[in-house]
Structure 1
Amino acid sequence: MGYPPLMREGAPLIGVIGGSGLYKLDNLHVIKTISASTPWGSPSSPITIAKLDTAKGPITVAFISRHGPAHNIAPSNVPARANIAALKHLGVKAIVAFSAVGSLREEVRPGDIIVPDQIIDRTKGIRPSTFFDGAMVGHAMFGEPFDKQLSEFIVPHIESAINSFPDHINPSDVPRLHKERTLVVMEGPQFSTRAESNMYRSFGGDIINMSSIPEAKLAREAELSYALVCTSTDYDAWRMGEAPVTVEEVMKTLTTNASLSKHITASILEAVHEAVASQSVLTTAEGSMKYSLMTNHSHVSPSELYKLKYILPAYFPYDAPRWKGEHVNTEDHDDSTASEKV
């Protein structure tokens, strides 16, 4: 026996992680909410399943509110493993995540949109950041932390959405789209000091948030395509002669940009769904963990093997142990790709 599916039919191919306001779109209709329970606990919010009306018919999308429906989960406490595991088990193939970021560069202005391609991890190791923290050792490739195919695919659709948005506050100075930028992920929940902000700039960082690690790492381990769309809300703390960032400033920019953010969301989800359905953006994610699992299954407990089946059933095709101490039969499993040492 395996884990029961979270949806019997019509499972979404696209998952969205961001603020709860993202699924309050005019052409989006909530079908149901799912209170999932994973081997890594419960997600940060119930999964909202919604249908998005498109010219080619409705598509189904899954939404998770990263910090909870009431924004009551601090960055360090986000149950990222449960969020990613629940979306993977639901049937999601690709995730488009959204985040507010601070800008570390003059040209990335508050209100601008960014699709980063690199990450500098400045979290402090207090967030569980891997599904492989037991006897099964896994080394996911992370040189390209965001799915390059998916990120490159959404860029022109975001650009088109910005240009077609009818309600820009200043039509002569619309938000700019930046790509191929480096995101610094800090621990928080406090904002940066001026010294830290300038240090991140010297590292090559362009934008900064508290949210995308370990989210991006876990998506890679679960073989999910993952791209991030950011809204710049402030200039962090590096600009001398002006006050450092405050929550008030962040919220003001987010409120001002709310309509544009929703327009971008609706615009890209339809295109991403079509691309995922045709498998044109999944060639680097699916199968990426095949040669990353190092431990022979005979050295891993039945309960751990079954736990990993939740996210990677192709590599862990085992039934649930029926009693304590029961051995999972691994004789027919191909461990030829495993190695005893790195």
Structure 2
Amino acid sequence: MSVKIAIIGGTGVYNPDIMTDIRDETVATPYGDVQLKIGSYRNRPVAFMNRHGEGHSVPPHLVNYRANIAALKKLGVKYVLATAAVGSLNPSMQPGHFIFVDQFLDFTKSRQTTFFDGGSAGVAHIDMTNPYCPELRDILSRAARGQGLISHPYGTYICTEGPRFETTAEIKMYRLFGGDLVGMTGFPEVSLAREAEMCYATIAMVTNYAAGISPTNLTHQEVLDMMVMNSENIRKLLMQAVVWIDPERACVCHHAIDPLR
């Protein structure tokens, strides 16, 4: 049986108690081998991928995003729910809130961002007008409301290179550009998922206010602490979405390459 739903996350997201029949899987791809877990939730197979590896050992700028998405594609995944810890540039998006982002701005510098590098892979220019699947975002919004969680259906995600946090001047610039949130892992994951013809949505959870907005200097520990505090809410939100996803539904995301063939 192919696995059509995947969750990409990190600290606080994976809990073995949620799933049954859990097994470790290593998937070989042209970009490297990927380790993940596959289990069952209400008789529905789900793949869990820890973006940063065991023990949060891989920094955001060195994550093998192409291998990760290629591995999910090989498993047959059509729907990806990705979690992200973010800083807020928007006072209405407070620590503990969930945002189902609808747009991004890419400020990364050194990442491999496409499967289409020319040669045998060819060249393709993918439409990214709506980079995050609207139907998955709607499912997440309904799930959040049903659980009484504070959420926002829209938001623009600024993706930075990392692993350092941003300067106050950078945050001022990102706000002028219309950014609501800042993180380090959202891109190129979202565009690779579109190239792989998957429905993709990001569950962004605000862990802190960004530099110059926060009254204190930023630390990685406060990010981890907020993720732990909200880990149960994240898991409930994810698993409700898994139940509501129709694995057989058709979506334009599944035909992103068709117009280019």
TM-score by length of 1: 0.73
User: How far has the Cα of 1:73 moved from its partner?
Assistant: 0.6
2-structure distance, mates of 1:215, 1:30 = 28
SS at match of 2:253: coil
Q: Does 1:154 align with 2:140?
A: yes
1:259 aligned residue (225, 228, 232): 232
Question: In structure 2, what is the equivalent of residue 285 of structure 1?
Answer: 253
Q: 1 or 2 for the larger relative contact order (CA 8 Å, sep ≥6)?
A: 2
User: How far has the Cα of 1:238 moved from its partner?
Assistant: 2.7
Question: In structure 2, what is the equivalent of residue 114 of structure 1?
Answer: 99
Q: Does 1:128 align with 2:76?
A: no
Q: Does 1:271 align with 2:260?
A: no
SS at match of 1:35: strand
1:208 aligned residue (168, 175, 182): 182
Identical-residue share of aligned pairs (%): 35
Question: In structure 2, what is the equivalent of residue 24 of structure 1?
Answer: 15
State how 1:322-337 maps to structure 2 within 5 Å: 337=261
User: How far has the Cα of 1:267 moved from its partner?
Assistant: 1.6
Q: Is the 8 A contact 1:184 1:207 kept in 2?
A: yes
1-structure distance, mates of 2:211, 2:50 = 27
2-structure distance, mates of 1:239, 1:20 = 25
Compare CA radii of gyration and give the structure with the larger one.
1
Question: In structure 1, what is the equivalent of residue 4 of structure 2?
Answer: 13
User: How far has the Cα of 1:37 moved from its partner?
Assistant: 1.1
SS at match of 1:42: strand
1:37 aligned residue (14, 28, 32): 28
**Greater CA drift, 198-207 or 19-28:** 19-28
1:81 aligned residue (66, 69, 75): 66
Q: Is the 8 A contact 2:12 2:228 kept in 1?
A: no
State how 1:179-198 maps to structure 2 within 5 Å: 179-198=153-172
1-structure distance, mates of 2:196, 2:190 = 10
2-structure distance, mates of 1:213, 1:133 = 17
Q: Which amino acid aligns with 2:115?
A: F
Counterparts in 2 of 1:138 and 1:87: CA distance versus 1, 3 Å? same
2-structure distance, mates of 1:25, 1:236 = 32
2-structure distance, mates of 1:21, 1:248 = 13
Q: Which amino acid aligns with 2:111?
A: R
User: How far has the Cα of 1:149 moved from its partner?
Assistant: 2.2
1:66 aligned residue (28, 31, 51): 51
Q: Is the 8 A contact 2:139 2:241 kept in 1?
A: no
Question: In structure 1, what is the equivalent of residue 221 of structure 2?
Answer: 248
Q: Is the 8 A contact 1:236 1:244 kept in 2?
A: no
User: How far has the Cα of 1:153 moved from its partner?
Assistant: 2.7
1-structure distance, mates of 2:227, 2:140 = 21
Q: Deviations over 1:217-267 (max 9, x none)?
A: 100001011011111000011327x21321122122112111211221222
Q: Deviations over 1:1-58 (max 9, x none)?
A: xxxxxxxxx2221011101642315331243111111011123xx12001113xxxx1
2-structure distance, mates of 1:199, 1:67 = 28
RMSD: 1.5
User: How far has the Cα of 1:154 moved from its partner?
Assistant: 2.3
SS at match of 2:115: coil
Q: Does 1:49 align with 2:17?
A: no
Q: Is the 8 A contact 2:81 2:238 kept in 1?
A: no
SS at match of 1:228: strand
2-structure distance, mates of 1:52, 1:151 = 20
Q: Is the 8 A contact 2:5 2:80 kept in 1?
A: yes
Question: In structure 2, what is the equivalent of residue 143 of structure 1?
Answer: 129
Q: Is the 8 A contact 1:110 1:234 kept in 2?
A: yes
Counterparts in 2 of 1:20 and 1:28: CA distance versus 1, 3 Å? farther
Superposition misfits of 4+ residues, deviation over 2 angstroms: 20-23
Q: Which amino acid aligns with 1:284?
A: V
TM-score by length of 2: 0.95
User: How far has the Cα of 1:160 moved from its partner?
Assistant: 1.1
Q: Which amino acid aligns with 1:231?
A: M
- Structure 1 unaligned blocks of 5 or more: 1-9, 164-174, 293-336, 338-342
Across the two proteins, how many residue pairs are aligned to each other? 259
